[in-house]
Chain A
Amino acid sequence: MLEIKNLHVKLEEEDKVILKGVNLTVEAGKVHAIMGPNGSGKSTLSYVLSGRDGYEVTEGSATLEGVELLEMEPEERAAAGLFLAFQYPVEIPGVGNMTFLRTAVNAQRKARGEEEMTAGEFLKVVREKAKQLKIDADMMKRPVNVGFSGGEKKRNEILQMAMLEPKMCILDETDSGLDVDAMKLVADGVNALRAEGRAFLVITHYQRLLDHIKPDVVHIMADGRIIKTGGPELALEVEHNGYANLLAEVQ
């Protein structure tokens, strides 16, 4: 599904290299997790894949189902099936949440040459999915993420993911700022989307999210590289021993 080869990335405005040769393959139907200490480049990887400004790819490639992502505009990547659940979902005053969601769904359909959803169809589907995530009608009417609590913002991200039905979902620290109940709700939302043709890349600091979203593969990232790859037990090892041992092992 997603194949990253020897990816090197630096900041556009500074001479700071953040990713120093990332290699990663996520197969369809699988859940991969990336763990790592602060500043290891986890969030940068998610931004670069989704097409945020401010980064320069100096080497390497990233393909989604064999198609090069890094040359595309952010909206083209989304239409190709990539989705990033933001660590800090953005507030957009003046744009209603429902309008935003419907615009996004139909823009992607249009880009793929599919029929756009009618208002009625859309409303029916969104109500059903919002209900599962305990998102009430009032949250749908309010401007995008404005005045939402931390938990509401993250649930709203998952709702967008559920509506857009991407092939490759990247979750950037979706557990940050969530209490136990909210984390369960978000994890249930993600698990409901697990499917044969869909893959997940879950970025997190802590093992606890992975109790709810069970990964197939766990990668440890440090200093801009994947330094170790293993099964779910690797996450438990980090939880018990921290990153220090792993880092020492590599050096």
Chain B
Amino acid sequence: MAVAQAKLDALEARLAVLSLPEGGWTGTARDEALARLRAMGLPGKRDEYWRYTNPESLTSATAGKAALFDAGGEAPLFDGIDRVKLVFVDGVFSADLSDDPAAAGVELLSRQSADIHWAQGLYGVLEARGQVPVARPLAALNTAAAAEGVLIRVTEKAAKPVNLIYLHQSETSDAILHHCIKIESGADLTILENGPGAARFNTVMEVELADGARFHHIRAQGRDHECRAVTHIFARLGAEALFKSFTLTANGVLTRNEAVLELTGDDAMAHVAGAAVGDGDFLHDDTVFVTHAAERCESRQVFKKVLKNGAVGVFQGKILVKPGAQKTDGYQISQSLLLDEDSQFLAKPELEIYADDVKCSHGSTSGAIDETALYYLRSRGVPLRQAQSLLVLAFLAEAIQEIEDEAIAEDIRSRLEGWLARHGQ
């Protein structure tokens, strides 16, 4: 089917205001991404996977304005964690604010040469694989246009987590970041990401996990209420590899988090979880596609959203079990806690199974705070707001449990408590 002219026109308008990077070892990958993109056009609200989330503000030629958030006295996230800090201000790497990337074995995409590079087998490669069967044009746009990002390759257990910090300083910034992460056999890496990034933010993270590799990813996003973001994680897992990703989203008028995970080696394990809290003009969309292509793999999707004052939550999650992927164990849960009658949760769970000896379960619910539990807590002397807060945190607990490191989990919990205190819960 021919791509609608309007989508192509929108794409050309968008490309016209971007200065596409030239040269360097990513050149070919960028050209190919551009070709993919021109064959797809930008997403429109009539596309099957954009029915619940209008992509217009993500595809428009320029970014809308987003006011800066006043954090008050709140401590920066992950402050107590010993980590390598790499700071991007409105999508541009800041050497002044960062630790030395070279000392931590991190390379910067912005400093690429034309020489052959290990990431050539990764940059745009997993993104391209992830375009089938569902098109993800904004990821292809990212591959074509990203000038900044990190390239990390680990061959053993990394000494410290790498913390990518995204500062938002310009009210109209429009940032595109592309990260490539390669974890060799038996190696182990933790990536922390936090900060709103820019008024409009488009990120891609491609993660290649060799046999027995381990990857932990903990992210906190949102904050600056008017920000818009579309993020993509593309991961491919070898045998016995472990992938765990958790995202906290607090505020943000529009956030779409896509995760495309492919289990290609036997006995691999992929967990992806999210806790989102929104008040008012808030739309949060988790779009997940997990492919089981090997035997005895386990996948878990755990997504929880707390919504009030007309906030909207979207979940589109799919488990695809390919022929021969026997003994697959797939689990998917998406739940929302609606704190009033104006809020909305839209869920589309999908299972597609072509193997006959698998275990796959999914569930999706939305409901209000349990009044009986609230009364019970209050009858023991816990004030109303504190009792509500406890119950909201309890609702989110299953997602937060996916964070293995207790200190990091505690940071996420206290950030949530701060949000609940600010938003009258």
Contacts and interface: CB of A to CB of B under 8 A. Distances in A.
A235 interface: no
Given A92-B394, A94-B397, A95-B391, A73 B381 contact: no
B379 A92 contact: no
A136 to B, nearest CB: 21
A160 B398 CA distance: 26
A95 B370 CA distance: 13
A84 B379 contact: yes
Contact of B379 (A74, A93, A99, A111): A74
B394 A104 contact: no
B25 interface: no
Interface stretch (A47-55, A59-67, A175-183): A47-55
Contact of A51 (B378, B383, B387, B391): B378
B375 A52 contact: yes
B96 interface: no
A92 B375 contact: no
Interface in B171-208: none
A51 B386 contact: no
Contacts of B375: 51-53, 74, 90
Interface in A56-96: 73-75, 77-79, 83-84, 86, 89-95
Number of chain B interface residues as a range: 20 to 34
Given A53-B371, A90-B372, A78 B394 contact: no
A100 interface: yes
A90 B380 contact: no
B370, B378, B395 interface centre (most CB from chain A within 10 Å): B378
A92 B377 contact: yes
Interface string B335-379: 000000000000000000000000000000000001111011111
A77 B380 CA distance: 9
Contacts of A92: 370, 373, 376-377, 391, 394
A164 B380 contact: yes
Interface in B393-416: 393-398
A103 B382 contact: yes
A95 B398 CA distance: 11
A73 B379 contact: no
Contacts of B377: 92, 100, 104
A99 B394 CA distance: 11
B363 to A, nearest CB: 14
B390 interface: yes
A75 B381 contact: yes
A103 B387 CA distance: 9
Nearest to B373: A92
B384 interface: yes
A86 B376 contact: yes
A104 B393 contact: no
A107 B381 contact: yes
A83 to B, nearest CB: 8
A242 B375 CA distance: 34
Given A52-B375, A103-B386, A107-B386, A78 B380 contact: yes
Contact of B373 (A75, A83, A90, A108): A90
A109 to B, nearest CB: 9
Contacts of B384: 73, 75
Contacts of A164: 380-381
A107 B393 contact: no
Contacts of A143: 394
Given A73-B384, A107-B386, A94 B379 contact: no
Contacts of B394: 92-95, 143
A46 to B, nearest CB: 10
A192 B209 CA distance: 60
Given A53-B371, A92-B373, A107-B383, A75 B391 contact: no
Contacts of A100: 377, 380, 390
A29 to B, nearest CB: 23
Contacts of A83: 379
A50 B381 contact: no
Nearest to A88: B372
Contacts of B380: 78, 100, 104, 107-108, 160, 164
Contacts of A93: 394
A104 B395 contact: no
A164 B377 CA distance: 13
Nearest to B401: A94
B374 to A, nearest CB: 9
Nearest to A104: B380
B80 to A, nearest CB: 18
A205 to B, nearest CB: 22
A100 B225 CA distance: 32
A95 B390 CA distance: 7
A100 B372 CA distance: 15
Contacts of A74: 375, 378-379
A103 B382 CA distance: 7
A91 B375 CA distance: 12
B395 A94 contact: yes
Nearest to B371: A53
Interface of A: 50-53, 73-75, 77-79, 83-84, 86, 89-95, 99-100, 103-105, 107-108, 111, 143, 160, 164
29 contacts: A51-B375, A51-B379, A73-B378, A73-B384, A74-B375, A74-B378, A75-B378, A75-B382, A75-B387, A77-B379, A78-B378, A78-B381, A90-B373, A92-B373, A92-B376, A92-B391, A94-B391, A94-B393, A94-B396, A94-B398, A95-B390, A95-B391, A100-B380, A103-B390, A104-B382, A107-B381, A111-B381, A160-B380, A164-B381
Kindly list the 8 A-B residue pairs having the minimum CB-CB distance in the complex, ordered from nearest: A94-B394, A78-B381, A108-B381, A74-B378, A90-B376, A104-B380, A94-B397, A95-B394
